[in-house]
Structure 1
Amino acid sequence: MCGIIGIVSDAPVADRLVESLKRLEYRGYDSAGIATLEGGRMDRRRAEGKLRNLEALLLGQPLKGRIGIGHTRWATHGRPSVANAHPHATTQVAVVHNGIIENFRELREELGGTGCNFESETDTEVVAHLVSRELREGRTPADAVAATLPKLKGAFALAFLFDGDEDLMIGARRGSPLAVGYGDGEMFLGSDAIALAPFTDRIAYLDDGDWAVLHHDRADIRNAANRPVRREIQKTAATSLMIEKGNHRHFMAKEIHEQPTVVAQTLGHYLDMANETVHLPGDVTIDFARLERISIAACGTAYYAGLIAKYWFERYARLPVEIDVASEFRYREAPLGDNGLTIVISQSGETADTLASLRYARDEDQSVLAVVNVATSTIARESDAVMPTLAGPEIGVASTKAFTCQLATLCAIAVAAGRARGTVSAEEERALVGALTEVPRLMNEALGLSDEIETLARTFAKTRDVLYLGRGTSYPLALEGALKLKEISYIHAEGYAAGELKHGPIALIDENMPVVVIAPHDAVFDKTMSNMQEVAARGGRIVLITDASGAKQAALPTEATLVMPDMHPAITPLVYALPIQLLAYHTAVHMGTDVDQPRNLAKSVTVE
C-alpha cells in the first residue's frame, strides 16, 4: 500500500524522508521517490524496486533541500516504473498520492485539451496539472488546492510542494488516512504514526475531508466545508514495530475505516484502470480456459469470502465451484479430477486446516492459487500462484479489512477467468472494472451510516438472539454478519438464505427477535421482500439494509432502514459488508466486551 511522508524543516530532509519510508515498507510497494526544494527550486529522485535503489541514487545525486515529500508506491494506474513513481510534478508543483482518482480519465481529457503534457500513466499526475492550472490563473497555492479538491472523485491522501516556496506544504485527505506531526520548529505529514515516530510524538489525525497548510512552525487545518478547524494533538508512543489506533477507540474501528484505502490499493494491484481491464500479476499463470472446476477451501470469514466468490465464478466464468470449510475438505477425501484449480484463502497464510487442504490438493495434482494477506507465509510459499490481498496489518481478531480485500481480489480473479473463457465480453469487463473502481468511494459513503448504526446498536445490546437473512451474494454476507456479532458481542446470531426462512427459522420469530435483512434492489429483491412480509406478520423487528429504490419499494414497517448508495449488483458484498461490521462493532462497544481481543479467539489459527 502507498505510504506518504512530508517534512518542513530548517535542515536537509532527504535522509529522514528515506528513513520514514522504510517504516512504511510493511504496506508493500514497488517503487519509491522523494522531492525537495533547494534554493526555491524543485528537484526529485525516483527509483523502481526497493528503497535501497533510491538510496543508491541519492548517494550519487544527493538532494539537500530543507522541505520535501516522499512516497512508496504500489502500482495502480500504470506499471511499476520510474516514470510512474511518485512524486509527480509540473514546473510549479509536486504531489504524492495514496488512493484512486476515479474520474482521472475525464480530467486527463479535459487537461489534454488545454495543452498539458503527461509523462506517466498514473491518475496522480492529473492532480499536479489541475493545481498548476489554478496557479497559472493567479491563485495562491492554498487557493489552487482548495479549487482542485472538489474536482476529484474517489479516495485519496495528498501532499504538495510548491516551486519557489521553501516554507509551505499542503496535505489533504478524503478516505485515505493522513496525519500531521508537530516538531520543534518543523512540521510533518505522514500516512500514519509509524512514519512520523522518529521525528515527533505529537500527532493530529486529519478528519475525512480535511486539508492542512503547513509551515515550519504551524499547521492551519480546514475541513471539507473550507472552515478553519482544530484537531486534537495526541501524544503517541509509536515505534517501527507498533501499529497505532489513531483517533479510533479500537483497532477494529480503525480497520473498518481503513477499508476504502486498502481496498483501493488491492484493486489497483489487479485492475488496469486506464484501460478498464483486469490485469493479474505476471507470475499468475493459471490457464482458466482449460479449467473444468474450482475447489475453494478456507476457514471462518475467509470461508464466507469464498462463498461469495462461488457466485462470481459461476456467474461470470461459468465454472462449477465446490467450496468447503478447510477442516472438512481435507478429511472427506473429495475426488478433485483433472484440470482443476484449488483456491485457498487465508488472512495470515498460516491457517493449519487451510494449509492441510492445500497439501491435499497438491497431492491430487491440482493447481493451487493462494489468496493471502502475507505474501511470505507458508501457504503462499507452497502455492503455484499467489494473489496478495494488500490489507496491511490487521490487529483486531474479528476480520474486517482482510475480508473485503479478499473479496476485491476474488472478484478480479473471477472477471479475469470469465475473459479467458470467453464468458465475459470486453464490454462486460469494462462495466465490472468500472464498478469495482467505485468501491472505495461507495465504502466512504457507507461509513457515513456509523452514527445511525450506533443508535441502533443500543437496542441490539439488549437482545439475546439475532437472525440475518439474504439471497444471492447477500446470503454469505448474512452468515458473515451473524459471525461478526457472535465473535465480539457474544450474542447468539444465525445467518440464513432468506428462502430457507419457512423451512425452520421462522419458528424463532417473535416481537423480541431482530431480523437483519440484507437486500440491495437486485434481481432477487422481490423474493426477499416476501420473506420480510413473513417476518412482519409475526411481529419480528426488521432491520433492512438496502438502497433508496429498495427502501421505497419495501413499504413495510421496520425498526430501522439503512439506506446504502446505488451500485452495480456485482459489488454489493464489498460495500454492504461495512454496515454489518459497524453493527457488530457498536453493539459490542455498548455491551462492554473486549472488541479487539474477544474471548477464546486468536487472530491466526495455526493448530487444528
Structure 2
Amino acid sequence: MCGITGIVTHDLDNIGELLVRCSSKLTYRGYDSVGVAAVRKGVVELRKDVGTIEEVDALLGLSKLKGDRGIAQLRWATYGAPNKINAQPHFGCKEIFYGAHNGNIHNYVEYRRELLDTGHIIRSENDGELCVHAVDKYYEQTGNMFDAVRLSTNDLKGAFAYVVGRSDQKEIYAVKMGSTLVAGVADDATIVSSDLPSILPLTNRVIYLADGEMLALTHDEVKIFRIDDGKQLERRPQISRVDARAAEKGGFPHFMLKEINEQPKVVQDLMGILEGQQNERWLRLLEDASRHYLVACGSSYNASIVGAYYFNRLAGLPIIHALGGQFEPMYGRTLNPDSITVLVSQSGETKDILNVLDMIYENDYGKTLGIVNVLGSTLMFKANSYVPMTCGYEISVPATKTYYSQSVIFAYLAAKLGERNGHLDPSEAKSFVKRLQTDLPKLTQTTIDRTGILAKNLAKTLIDVKDLYCLGYGFTDGVAREGALKIKEICYNHCEGMYSSEFKHGPLSIVTKKYPVIFVTTTEDSWMVINHINEVKARSGRTIIVGEQEASLTPYVAHSDDYLIVPKSDILLNPILDVIPLQLLSYFLSVDLGINPDLPRNLSKTLTVD
C-alpha cells in the first residue's frame, strides 16, 4: 500500500515532471490521493489532492512544479480518511521539513498525543505526518539531519519506510523499517522509491535495501547506513534486467487484459526456471521436513488450495494451507524445527506473510520456502530458498498471471516430489512435466481465444446481477474461490466462492428464480457436480458451467453463453485452465459496468499493513 518516490537532481529544475513520470508507475500501490513536494531555491512547494495521479496532475499541475529535488506519494488510505488534508507529502511544524511514508505507524495515537503535548503542529489524521515530525523533533535536539533521521526510528513503531528532507539542505534521506524501498543511480540524478517500476524510467542501476537501513541521496551518490549504529555500508548498484516496457499496456485497453494474455508466455518462461538446477534445493527442503504448511493471502491463498490438491494427488503429501493472518493462532504451536512453511506472496512484501516469516525465525520453527514474483523483495532475501514466479511485473491490482504461475509451480513441485518419494511412477511424473512444458502453453492460448467471446457475451447478461455464487468441487475448489474473488474485486458485486457440496448446507436458501450460480468442474468430478447443479435447477435457479464440454452437462444450461467451455486436456491441467474464463468474465463485466479493472476502489496491489 502507498507508493513513495524521492528524487535529487543536478540543477535540472524539472522535478515535477520527473516525479510524476516515475510515480505513475506506482499507481497500483495507491490511488486515493496524490501529492508532490518540490524544492527550489530553498523553498518547498507542496501540491496534493484526492484522486489518481493523472487527475491530480491535471487539476494542480504537479508535473509543472520546478525544482531540483522533491518527493511524491500515492496514497492508499489506512490512518485518516482519503481527503486532501490527509494526502501526503506532509510538512513538519514549519514548511521546512517535508516527507512522506509507506506502511503503518502502530503507535500513532499515543505518539501523536506526545507530539501535540510538546508543541508540535500536526495538521492531519494521517500517520505519515508523524514521520516528518519525528525527524523535526530530533533535529531540534541535534541540529544534524542525519542524526535526526536515525534517531526518529526509535520513536516510530510499526512497519514503514519514509523519505524526508529539509528545504535548506540538498540531501534527501530515506529509511526502511519493514516496508519496501529501492534506490537508483542515474547519470545526473538519484532516486529512491517503494518499487522498481518507478526507478526504471530514470535508471537501471539499482540498490536494494534491507530493513534497518537508511539512505542519504545527493544528485550523484546514494550512501547507505545501518540505522542502529550509523555505520556506512558499501553496496554497489546492480544492473536491473527488467524491461521498463513491462509497465506499458502494449496496445491492450487495460493491464488486466494484457496480463491475462501473457499467461501462455508465463508458463513457457516458468518451466525453464523450474527445470533448472535450483529445483534440487526446493525439493530437498520439502523432502526433509516432517510437517508441511502452505501460507498465503488473497488470490495466492486460492492458488494454495489448488496446490494442496496437487500435493495430495501427485505426492501423497498432506500439506496444511492457511491464510497469513490465520496461521499463527491456528497452527503456530504445531510447528517444530523440522517443519517447512511455504510462503506465497506476489510482491514478497505482504505484511501478513512477513509476520509468519518472522515468527518462524524467532522461534526456530524450521525452514521456509518463498514463492515470490518481485525479485529483491524481503521474502526473497529472508526465506531459506525461493521459487520465482517469472511473471514480470503485474501492474493491474487484481492478480491473474501470478495466480496462474503459482498453480503451475504447485503442480510441478508436487509431481517432482511424487517421483522422488515413490508415490508417482517416474514415467507418469515425466509425462506430466512434459505436458506442463509443451501442452499447457498451447492449451492456455486456446482457452483465451475460445472463451474470450463467450465470457464477453455472458458478462452482458450479468450486468444487472448484484449477487451470485461460484462453486467448485475437488481440484476446482480454489479455482471457484478465485473466480468469485475477481468478481468482487473489480465488479463490486457480491460473489461468494465455496465448495459445491456445502451449498446445500444453508446458502441454497438464497436461490430463487433465475438466481445465477456458477459451477466450475472437471470431467472427473462432473458426475458429482451434476447433483449440486440439480439442487439449484430444482429451485428455478440459473446454472452457469465452466469446464470441458460434456454431453452430460449440456442439458443444464439454458443458453449456450452459460457454458464457458475450455479445451480438452486432463484432470491435472484442467484446474489451471478453468480459471481463465473466470478471469475474462470478471474483466468484461467490470468494463461493461464502467469500472477500471486495473484500479478497483479501496484496494492496493502490495499490502504492507497488518
1:411 is displaced (CA, Å) by 1.4
In structure 2, C-alpha distance between the alignment counterparts of 1:460 and 1:267, rounded to whole Å: 37
In structure 1, C-alpha distance between the alignment counterparts of 2:469 and 2:394, rounded to whole Å: 27
Tell me: CA distance 1:285–1:471, structure 2 relative to 1, closer, same or farther (3 Å).
Answer: closer
In structure 2, C-alpha distance between the alignment counterparts of 1:282 and 1:289, rounded to whole Å: 10
Tell me: CA distance 1:525–1:538, structure 2 relative to 1, closer, same or farther (3 Å).
Answer: same
1:297 is displaced (CA, Å) by 0.9
Which letter does structure 2 place at the counterpart of 1:443? T
Match of 2:262 in 1: 258
Match of 1:323 in 2: 321
In structure 2, C-alpha distance between the alignment counterparts of 1:582 and 1:324, rounded to whole Å: 27
Which letter does structure 1 place at the counterpart of 2:303? A
Match of 1:290 in 2: 288
In structure 2, C-alpha distance between the alignment counterparts of 1:602 and 1:341, rounded to whole Å: 29
* 1:282-431 mapped onto 2 (5 Å cutoff): 283-284=281-282, 286-332=284-330, 333-362=332-361, 363-431=363-431
- Listed one character per residue, the Cα deviations across residues 403-435 of structure 1 (whole Å, up to 9, x for unaligned) are 101111121111122122121221111221133
Tell me: CA distance 1:447–1:531, structure 2 relative to 1, closer, same or farther (3 Å).
Answer: same
Which letter does structure 1 place at the counterpart of 2:324? A
In structure 2, C-alpha distance between the alignment counterparts of 1:364 and 1:572, rounded to whole Å: 39
In structure 2, C-alpha distance between the alignment counterparts of 1:479 and 1:564, rounded to whole Å: 18
- Listed one character per residue, the Cα deviations across residues 440-475 of structure 1 (whole Å, up to 9, x for unaligned) are 111111112211211110111210101111101201
1:545 is displaced (CA, Å) by 1.1
In structure 2, C-alpha distance between the alignment counterparts of 1:602 and 1:424, rounded to whole Å: 41
1:514 aligns with 2:512: no
SS of corresponding position for 2:469: strand
TM-score (norm 1): 0.58
SS of corresponding position for 1:386: strand
In structure 1, C-alpha distance between the alignment counterparts of 2:358 and 2:558, rounded to whole Å: 48
Over aligned residue pairs, what C-alpha RMSD do you find? 2.1
Which letter does structure 1 place at the counterpart of 2:526? F
In structure 2, C-alpha distance between the alignment counterparts of 1:572 and 1:280, rounded to whole Å: 27
Match of 1:143 in 2: none
In structure 2, C-alpha distance between the alignment counterparts of 1:257 and 1:407, rounded to whole Å: 17
- Listed one character per residue, the Cα deviations across residues 360-394 of structure 1 (whole Å, up to 9, x for unaligned) are 22324311000000132101111111100001010
Tell me: CA distance 1:264–1:327, structure 2 relative to 1, closer, same or farther (3 Å).
Answer: same
1:242 is displaced (CA, Å) by 6.7
Tell me: CA distance 1:582–1:331, structure 2 relative to 1, closer, same or farther (3 Å).
Answer: same
Match of 2:576 in 1: 574
SS of corresponding position for 1:607: coil
SS of corresponding position for 1:480: helix
**Contact 1:373 1:391 (8 Å CA) reproduced:** yes
Match of 2:453 in 1: 451
In structure 2, C-alpha distance between the alignment counterparts of 1:303 and 1:397, rounded to whole Å: 16
Which letter does structure 2 place at the counterpart of 1:314? N
- Listed one character per residue, the Cα deviations across residues 174-204 of structure 1 (whole Å, up to 9, x for unaligned) are xxxxxxxxxxxxxxxxxxxxxxx99xxxxxx
- Listed one character per residue, the Cα deviations across residues 139-185 of structure 1 (whole Å, up to 9, x for unaligned) are xxxxxxxxxxxxxxxxxxxxxxxxxxxxxxxxxxxxxxxxxxxxxxx
Tell me: CA distance 1:508–1:459, structure 2 relative to 1, closer, same or farther (3 Å).
Answer: same
Match of 2:470 in 1: 468
TM-score (norm 2): 0.57
SS of corresponding position for 1:415: helix
SS of corresponding position for 2:546: strand
In structure 1, C-alpha distance between the alignment counterparts of 2:247 and 2:512, rounded to whole Å: 44
1:537 is displaced (CA, Å) by 1.1
What runs of 5+ residues in structure 2 fail to find an aligned partner? 1-200, 203-242
Which letter does structure 1 place at the counterpart of 2:460? R
1:330 is displaced (CA, Å) by 2.9
Query: Which of 246, 252, 258 matches 1:248?
Result: 252
Tell me: CA distance 1:241–1:271, structure 2 relative to 1, closer, same or farther (3 Å).
Answer: closer
In structure 2, C-alpha distance between the alignment counterparts of 1:254 and 1:536, rounded to whole Å: 36
Match of 1:269 in 2: 273
In structure 1, C-alpha distance between the alignment counterparts of 2:441 and 2:333, rounded to whole Å: 38
- Listed one character per residue, the Cα deviations across residues 103-150 of structure 1 (whole Å, up to 9, x for unaligned) are xxxxxxxxxxxxxxxxxxxxxxxxxxxxxxxxxxxxxxxxxxxxxxxx
In structure 2, C-alpha distance between the alignment counterparts of 1:475 and 1:554, rounded to whole Å: 21
- Listed one character per residue, the Cα deviations across residues 555-575 of structure 1 (whole Å, up to 9, x for unaligned) are 323341122111121122211
Tell me: CA distance 1:553–1:481, structure 2 relative to 1, closer, same or farther (3 Å).
Answer: closer
Match of 1:505 in 2: 507
In structure 2, C-alpha distance between the alignment counterparts of 1:285 and 1:593, rounded to whole Å: 43
In structure 2, C-alpha distance between the alignment counterparts of 1:526 and 1:315, rounded to whole Å: 19
- Listed one character per residue, the Cα deviations across residues 549-607 of structure 1 (whole Å, up to 9, x for unaligned) are x2445432334112211112112221111100001000000000121010000000011
Query: Which of 480, 485, 488 matches 1:486?
Result: 488
Match of 1:205 in 2: none
Moved more, 244-253 or 484-493: 244-253
* 1:19-38 mapped onto 2 (5 Å cutoff): none
Tell me: CA distance 1:558–1:292, structure 2 relative to 1, closer, same or farther (3 Å).
Answer: farther
* 1:49-198 mapped onto 2 (5 Å cutoff): none
Count of aligned pairs between the two proteins: 365
In structure 2, C-alpha distance between the alignment counterparts of 1:361 and 1:320, rounded to whole Å: 20
Percent identity (aligned): 31
SS of corresponding position for 1:341: strand
1:546 aligns with 2:562: no
**Contact 1:293 1:339 (8 Å CA) reproduced:** yes
**Contact 1:529 1:554 (8 Å CA) reproduced:** no
SS of corresponding position for 2:584: helix
**Contact 1:551 1:563 (8 Å CA) reproduced:** no
In structure 1, C-alpha distance between the alignment counterparts of 2:523 and 2:280, rounded to whole Å: 37
SS of corresponding position for 1:517: strand
**Contact 1:373 1:392 (8 Å CA) reproduced:** yes
Query: Which of 548, 563, 566 matches 2:565?
Result: 563
In structure 2, C-alpha distance between the alignment counterparts of 1:340 and 1:447, rounded to whole Å: 39
Match of 1:589 in 2: 591
**Contact 1:435 1:567 (8 Å CA) reproduced:** no
In structure 1, C-alpha distance between the alignment counterparts of 2:600 and 2:459, rounded to whole Å: 18
Which letter does structure 2 place at the counterpart of 1:370? G
**Contact 2:545 2:557 (8 Å CA) reproduced:** no
SS of corresponding position for 1:562: strand
**Contact 1:536 1:557 (8 Å CA) reproduced:** no
Tell me: CA distance 1:334–1:551, structure 2 relative to 1, closer, same or farther (3 Å).
Answer: farther
In structure 1, C-alpha distance between the alignment counterparts of 2:398 and 2:371, rounded to whole Å: 18
Which letter does structure 1 place at the counterpart of 2:433? V
SS of corresponding position for 2:390: coil
Match of 2:193 in 1: none
Match of 2:17 in 1: none
Tell me: CA distance 1:364–1:539, structure 2 relative to 1, closer, same or farther (3 Å).
Answer: farther
Tell me: CA distance 1:590–1:551, structure 2 relative to 1, closer, same or farther (3 Å).
Answer: farther
Match of 2:434 in 1: 434
1:499 is displaced (CA, Å) by 0.7
In structure 1, C-alpha distance between the alignment counterparts of 2:286 and 2:322, rounded to whole Å: 21
In structure 2, C-alpha distance between the alignment counterparts of 1:334 and 1:511, rounded to whole Å: 48
In structure 2, C-alpha distance between the alignment counterparts of 1:581 and 1:240, rounded to whole Å: 25
In structure 2, C-alpha distance between the alignment counterparts of 1:290 and 1:569, rounded to whole Å: 29
**Contact 2:557 2:563 (8 Å CA) reproduced:** no
In structure 2, C-alpha distance between the alignment counterparts of 1:495 and 1:516, rounded to whole Å: 9
In structure 1, C-alpha distance between the alignment counterparts of 2:341 and 2:370, rounded to whole Å: 9
